[in-house]
Amino acid sequence: MNNKFVYTPGPTSIRENVLLARAQKTTNPDIDKDFFDFYKNTCEKIGRIINTKNDVYILSGEGILGLEAACASLTEKGDRVLVIDNGIFGKGFSDFITMYGGEVVYFSKDYNKDLDIEDLKKFLEHDNNFKYATVVHCDTPTGVLNNISKICPLLKEYNILTVVDSVAAMVGEELNVDEWQIDIALGGSQKAISAPAGLTIVSISNDAKTYIKNRKTKISGFYCNLSIWQDYYENKSFPYTMPISDIMGLDKAVDNILDEGIENVISRHEKIAFATRNSIKEYGLELFLDKGYSNTVTTIKIPESIGALNLSNYMLKKYNTLVATSLCEYIDKLLRIGHMGENARLENIIYILNILDESLKELGFKSDKNLVKLFNKYYN
């Protein structure tokens, strides 16, 4: 199991120093005051990466925990919530909103392109009575990237709180939480940060805290209640026992990003994504998206005669290489190249493109070109 080459859009490859950090001897995170400083310092380093002075929390649970926690903490019965739906995960926010009694209003657009800001402007001119709005930065099943820098300030013009799922974009794409007026930004350890799965990252603005504090009703549940983190550091008391080894690994992964420089990390993702997309097209395959390409995920249409599931199974059985197709109606139509985090390294992308090239041709795809040579042509 451990010998597979895994190239998925999260969990991603993990650097050895992260694995070693996670293997260190640990203390008791409930009572050791030094760990509170360590935890807070890790949160502040993440804050520097995503450009926020807001409080940042690390929650014990995979990225979906953050999505539910945001909705649980903000939603009261009857609240109208705008769900910006141009992707599977974008639409999926509605499940959490209705779970906590909210009324969902969709702003639904095509899944093969990023959101048109002018369309959203026109919509909001006629209907803007929303407590908060949800939007996905990079919708992983299709790899579409929404322009959060335009969407969130527009929503805030109407005093609508902004909740952004940046799980698949954070670190691989530029993210300026404060400048873009993001009230709750959500990330996950296992994507472009390249730490083990199991942690959610949450930044929360003062506006969001005020809304939560002034709720008329209590928040349902405990684990998804963001208010339980208020004053944890001052009181030296976590809401629950923290997964200390996971956080130690995350801290080292964050140091790796800071050491490389976030600008360099983003540039690395951009260069690899550009070369990947262009090599795929010149090779003779189609990309799913018309525009709005993320630099962390590329989605490829696989010919029906081959099938995405058949291709991924073939790559696993013959080459011991684990890749991902998509979800829902796209599960057998799209293959996803998750060039994010440590996956977005030349040695890794070259390897996966070579395996993809060989597998497609062995399954009957006709191309007189070589994916790796094409990638090298566009990479500079």
In order of start, what are the domains of the chain with their CATH numbers? 5-9+261-378 (3.90.1150.10), 16-259 (3.40.640.10)
Cα–Cα nearest to 7, from 328, 361, 320 = 320
| pLDDT for position 380 | 77
Residue showing tokens 């890794």: 348
Residue 302 burial (CB count, 10 A): 23
Given a cut of 70, whether residue 13 has pLDDT beyond it is yes
Rounded Cα distance, 327 and 337, in Å: 14
**Residue 60 vs residues 70, 173, 228, 266, 331: alpha-carbon distances, Å:** 14, 24, 13, 26, 29
User: pLDDT band for position 3 (50/70/90)?
Assistant: confident
Cα–Cα nearest to 338, from 351, 324, 350, 328 = 324
| pLDDT for position 77 | 96
| pLDDT for position 23 | 96
User: pLDDT band for position 74 (50/70/90)?
Assistant: very high
User: pLDDT band for position 288 (50/70/90)?
Assistant: very high
The verdict on whether omega for the bond into residue 11 sits within 30 degrees of 0, i.e. cis, is yes
User: pLDDT band for position 129 (50/70/90)?
Assistant: very high
Given a cut of 80, whether residue 314 has pLDDT beyond it is yes
| pLDDT for position 153 | 98
Mean pLDDT of 131-155: 98
| pLDDT for position 333 | 98
Given a cut of 90, whether residue 1 has pLDDT beyond it is no
Residue 284 burial (CB count, 10 A): 13
| pLDDT for position 321 | 97
| pLDDT for position 2 | 64
Rounded Cα distance, 107 and 85, in Å: 6
User: pLDDT band for position 113 (50/70/90)?
Assistant: very high
Given a cut of 80, whether residue 22 has pLDDT beyond it is yes
Backbone angles phi and psi of 164, in degrees to 5: -120, 120
Mean pLDDT of 355-374: 97
For 183-234, write each residue's pLDDT tens digit: 999 999 999 999 999 999 999 999 999 999 999 999 999 999 999 999 999 9
Rounded Cα distance, 327 and 308, in Å: 11
Mean pLDDT of 230-241: 96
**Residue 207 vs residues 50, 115, 234, 285: alpha-carbon distances, Å:** 18, 25, 21, 46
Regarding predicted confidence, which is higher, 59 or 1?
Answer: 59
Pairing, β 132-136 against β 55-60: unpaired
| pLDDT for position 279 | 98
Rounded Cα distance, 216 and 81, in Å: 17
Q: Cβ distance 186 to 167 under 8 Å?
A: yes
For 318-354, write each residue's pLDDT tens digit: 999 999 999 999 999 999 999 999 999 999 999 999 9
Percentage, residues of the chain above pLDDT 70 = 99
